[in-house]
Amino acid sequence: MIVALIDSGLGLLPTSAWLRRLRPDLDLMLSLDPDGAPWGPRDERWVIDRVVGTARRAVDRGAEVVVLPCNTASVTALDHVRAELGDGIPVIGTVPAIKPAAAACDSVAIWATAATTASDYQANLVEQFANGSSVVGVACHGLADAIDLGDVEAARAAIAAAAAHTPSDVTGVVLGCTHYPLVADEIAAHLPEGVVLFDSAEAVAAQTLRRIDALGRDTTGQGTVEVLLSGTRGKLPISAASFDAGRLLLAAPSR
């Protein structure tokens, strides 16, 4: 079975790596968009068309399940992708792990891109899931871009700046961009001891597997990884090798 994962950049790596660990026989199709990245600042209609078109091409190439491990793609285009592909193709989106963080911690910071931090989307999630906890948004300027470039020093500087703007009484930090789990250890090192990090990659992978099992089909594959770069077959960017998840996927047989 082929599972397609769609993001503009390396934000798809954490969920892809979890799928690789949990179900190593699945064939993964990783669709990145270097020509259009980043998606966050783009016009909403542009993002919808880009993500829907990518999902349609993935299914036409044999994908039976589509995952959007990207907050921008999920909030903007998830419903449109589901409408385009119909009920026969499970489409799994991503939501920042605000609910479990608020359930476990009295004071929570959401680290996200500047666009997401200022969005109604995040504000609505906080209103829905804060559950009485204090929740503050922290814009991580330049962090996702640094991760896409594999620029460890720039990522470290962006993390240090975000940590400096995080209230000292915070006990939980939500990694509100799917890129950020790739540098979770560095983020933890910049926060006070005992602060718990929350991200959604493992939960999205687990939900994907539940949806696959519910199909009742033979899911056995060859464990291959195919990479599409703005619709053209290619390889993961060399920057992926800077991260454990990237190295895991780079070591898989190609399709």
> Which positions are annotated as active-site residues?
70, 177
Using an 8 Å Cβ cutoff, are 174 and 167 in contact? no
Q: Prior bond to 41 cis, omega within 30?
A: no
Among 115, 31, 120, CA closest to 68: 31
Among 44, 13, 38, 52, CA closest to 199: 13
What is the rounded distance in angstroms from the CA atom of residue 245 to the CA atom of residue 255? 18
Which position has the token pair 């209230």?
167
Q: Are strands 196-198 and 232-234 parallel, antiparallel or unpaired?
A: unpaired
Q: Residue 118 corresponds to which tokens in the numbers above?
A: 């200022």
End-to-end CA distance of the chain: 13
Using an 8 Å Cβ cutoff, are 65 and 92 in contact? yes
39 burial level (CB within 10 Å; 0-12, 13-18, 19+):
buried
